[in-house]
């Protein structure tokens, strides 16, 4: 794991944005993949499949933003429990902080609320979700 300088943070944020924008991954997958890579791949790269059901508000249900879900999963990579009955206060506390920061930044954590002003699939929708993906990545990395 490299030192997280402002330049590194911005580079990783842009990497997540590009992975989403170019269609390599959807929001939750891009966030998770970038953080997993930054952490030295505690999980193999193909473990991004863990994040595959969260885009468009959990399986296209419009609920919790996939980028936020990916960021919460990414925090779990570092601070999540490794077995039963282990302490989980740190992961819960950091996840709550990330949730609150995301909500303050975007006004909601709900996908359908976040994209309601955009036609689904439009360039404006894409740019909004690219930004959310990048910001969620940054927020997660800042908490590691």
pLDDT, one tens digit per residue, over 94-141 is: 999 999 999 999 999 999 999 999 999 999 999 999 999 999 999 999
What is the three-class DSSP state of 110? strand
Nearest CA to 79 out of 96, 102, 55, 58 is that of: 96
Q: Where are the domains of the chain?
A: 6-142
b/e burial code for range 53-74 (CB count within 10 A of at least 16 → b):
ebbbbbeeebbbbbbbbbbbbb
pTM across the whole model: 0.95
* Average pLDDT of the chain to the nearest whole number: 96
HSE of 78 in the Cβ direction (CA atoms, 13 Å)?
20
Q: How confident is the model at residue 1 (pLDDT cuts 50, 70, 90)?
A: low
Determine if residue 121 is left, alpha or beta; phi over 0 gives left, psi from -120 to 50 gives alpha, anything else beta.
left
pLDDT, one tens digit per residue, over 25-71 is: 999 999 999 999 999 999 998 999 999 999 999 999 999 999 999 99
């Amino acid at each position: 794991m490299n030192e997280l300088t402002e330049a590194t943070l911005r580079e990783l944020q842009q990497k997540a944005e590009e992975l989403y924008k170019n269609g390599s991954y959807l929001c939750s997958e891009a966030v998770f993949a970038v953080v997993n890579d930054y952490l030295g791949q505690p999980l193999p790269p193909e473990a991004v499949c863990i994040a595959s059901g969260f885009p468009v508000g959990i399986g296209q249900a419009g609920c919790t933003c996939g980028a936020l879900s990916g960021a919460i999963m990414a925090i779990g990579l570092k601070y999540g429990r490794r077995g039963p009955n282990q302490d989980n206060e740190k992961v819960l506390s950091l996840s709550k902080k990330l949730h609150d920061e995301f909500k303050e930044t975007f006004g909601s954590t709900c996908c359908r609320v976040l994209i309601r002003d955009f036609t689904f699939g439009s360039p404006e929708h894409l740019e909004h979700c690219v930004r959310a993906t990048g910001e969620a990545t940054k927020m997660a990395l800042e908490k590691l």
